[in-house]
């Protein structure tokens, strides 16, 4: 049903390409003579965010806008965290209001997003807020900032995480036509991309529907059995992590991997739930010398401290490994609990609801052990796993179609923007 409802969105991208291409000029040429190249800094300033502490993250309160929340189609709150309500006054200089334009400056380099929510929010570090020096051509400049996302990424520096400064962004050149023409171009772009924006909104809705469907599917299938439920502590081994000896870390991937919470970010549950690449490793001899006990291959790991709990990420160890003291692991007793069945069960848990409000949110081993899991016979568990795998495969096909349509919509949008900023849109007013 979901696929039939949203499949036309994929085909509409091709139809939009044909319909809109006739509106675009394709002949090469220089900028019109009344246009001028200027640095973006002449037209905008950028306000940096504040480095809020993860220990202040809460489940309710003021929305905190981070890099992960930025989307070209609006703000994504799927993995959002929040701050205590009084922070909105305490950090008023970092307040975000509806209509503000945000730009990614770390990780999601250049990602432009118009804040489209009715509630006020706060701005996290490395998320820039664009201040327009010439409000009369704000829309023109906003379209241009969206157009140069890839170019800004090429300017970014850093190894593991790319970063770009406000100075670098403001030094980037922008073609500036006369004010009335800039306003007209922005108006034309709004009209030309309106259908694309509607298609993207449908794609976004379709993707959200699939996420909700996935969660509902797990809940329905796992609770369909007539078997009773038992506490996890009775049928699984639950282990807390240990403080990692970072001064002994090596980069030899043949040694024992030492995983931290940040490593969970590499997981895409739809594709590869296995953790196999760590930021540090230690030898087996050193592990024994330090009295560190590895977790078994197949252990399901997750965050147990800090704001990362709210992200609700799960991963499976692909080999015997160590985890740090901000993580917890769980593995089923093989005689009564299939481990893949257990993994799917954990995907449906919202562990933040179990966390305790201290200076740093935390989930205790005793609370995880008390969670009740439906426990049909092993044979039935394996049947459920097979059915979940089959359904998830169908969901992946749908998600792939949605992603393909989104890419086509993005390519068409970029084509329209490119011609606009070269002065090649048909109907461009001169002066």
CA dihedral (106, 110, 111, 112) positive or negative: positive
What are the beta bridge partners of residue 163? 106, 157
3-state DSSP assignment of residue 8: helix
Question: d(Cα 268, Cα 261) in Å, to the nearest integer?
Answer: 15
Q: Which residues contact 246 (CB under 8 A, 6 or more apart)?
A: 280
> Residues in the chain with pLDDT < 70?
1-29, 72-73, 107-110, 158-161, 225, 251, 269-271, 356-360, 426-431
DSSP label of 100? -
Structure tokens, 65: 């806008």
pLDDT at 266: 81
Fold match between 36-176 and 228-375?
A: yes
Say whether 81 sits in a helix, a strand or coil.
strand
Contacts of 239 by beta carbon, 8 Å cutoff, 6+ apart: 295, 299, 328, 329, 330
Cβ-Cβ contacts under 8 Å for 274 (sequence gap 6 or more): 267, 315, 316, 317, 318
Choose among 347, 343, 369, 366: nearest CA to 356: 366
Contacts of 242 (CB under 8 A, 6+ apart): 292, 322, 323, 324, 325
Give the 3-state DSSP-derived string for 291-322, with helices as H, strands as E and coil as C: CCCCECCCCEEEECECHHHHHCCCEEECCCEE
- Answer yes or no: are the C-beta atoms of 128 and 72 closer than 8 Å: no
pLDDT of residue 300: 95
pLDDT for 231 equals: 93
Return the pLDDT at 109: 66
Domain boundaries, the chain: 1-20+182-226+376-431, 36-176, 228-375
Architecture of domain 36-176: Alpha-Beta Complex (3.90)
Specify the residue for token string 């709210």: 310
pTM: 0.62
Mean pLDDT of the chain: 83
- Where would I find the beta strands (DSSP E) of 17-111? 36-39, 44-47, 62-65, 81-83, 95-96, 101-104
- The CATH number assigned to the domain with range 228-375 reads 3.90.220.20
How confident is the model at residue 407, as a pLDDT?
A: 83
């Amino acid at each position: 049903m979901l696929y039939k409802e949203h499949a036309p969105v994929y085909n509409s991208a091709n139809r939009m390409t044909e319909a809109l291409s006739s509106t675009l000029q394709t002949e090469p040429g220089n900028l019109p003579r009344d246009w001028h190249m200027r640095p973006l800094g002449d037209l905008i300033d950028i306000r940096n965010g504040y480095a809020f502490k993860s220990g202040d993250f809460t489940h309710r309160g003021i929305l905190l806008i981070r890099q992960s929340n930025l989307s070209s189609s609006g703000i994504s709150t799927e993995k959002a965290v929040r701050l205590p309500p009084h922070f909105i006054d305490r950090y008023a200089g970092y307040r975000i209001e509806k209509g503000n334009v945000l730009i990614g400056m770390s990780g999601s380099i250049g990602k432009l997003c118009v804040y489209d929510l009715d509630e006020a929010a706060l701005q996290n570090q490395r998320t820039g807020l664009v201040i327009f020096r010439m409000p009369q051509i704000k829309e023109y400049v906003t379209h241009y900032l969206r157009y140069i996302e890839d170019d800004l990424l090429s300017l970014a520096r850093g190894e593991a995480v790319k970063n770009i400064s406000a100075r670098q962004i403001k030094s980037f050149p922008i073609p500036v036509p006369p004010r009335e023409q800039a306003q007209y171009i922005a108006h034309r772009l709004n009209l030309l991309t309106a259908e694309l924006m509607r298609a993207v909104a449908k794609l976004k809705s379709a993707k959200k529907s699939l996420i909700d469907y996935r969660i509902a599917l797990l809940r329905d299938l796992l609770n369909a059995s007539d078997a009773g439920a038992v506490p996890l502590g009775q049928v699984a081994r639950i282990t807390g992590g240990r403080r990692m000896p970072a001064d002994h870390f090596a980069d030899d991937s043949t040694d024992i991997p030492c995983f931290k919470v940040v490593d969970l970010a590499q997981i895409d549950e739809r594709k590869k739930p296995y953790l196999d690449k760590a930021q540090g490793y230690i030898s087996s001899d050193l592990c024994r010398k330090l009295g560190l006990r590895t977790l078994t291959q197949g252990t399901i790991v997750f965050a147990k401290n800090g704001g990362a709990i709210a992200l609700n990420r799960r991963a499976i160890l692909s080999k015997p490994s160590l985890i740090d003291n901000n993580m917890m692991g769980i593995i089923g007793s093989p005689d009564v609990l299939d481990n893949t069945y257990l993994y799917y069960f954990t995907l449906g848990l919202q562990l933040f609801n179990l966390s305790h409000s201290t200076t740093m949110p935390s989930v205790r081993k005793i609370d995880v052990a008390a969670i009740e899991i439906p426990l049909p016979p092993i044979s039935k568990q394996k049947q459920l796993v097979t059915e979940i795998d089959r359904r998830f495969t169908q969901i992946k096909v749908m998600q792939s179609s949605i992603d393909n349509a989104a890419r086509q919509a993005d390519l068409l949008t970029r084509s329209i923007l490119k011609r606009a900023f070269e002065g090649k849109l048909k109907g461009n007013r001169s002066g």
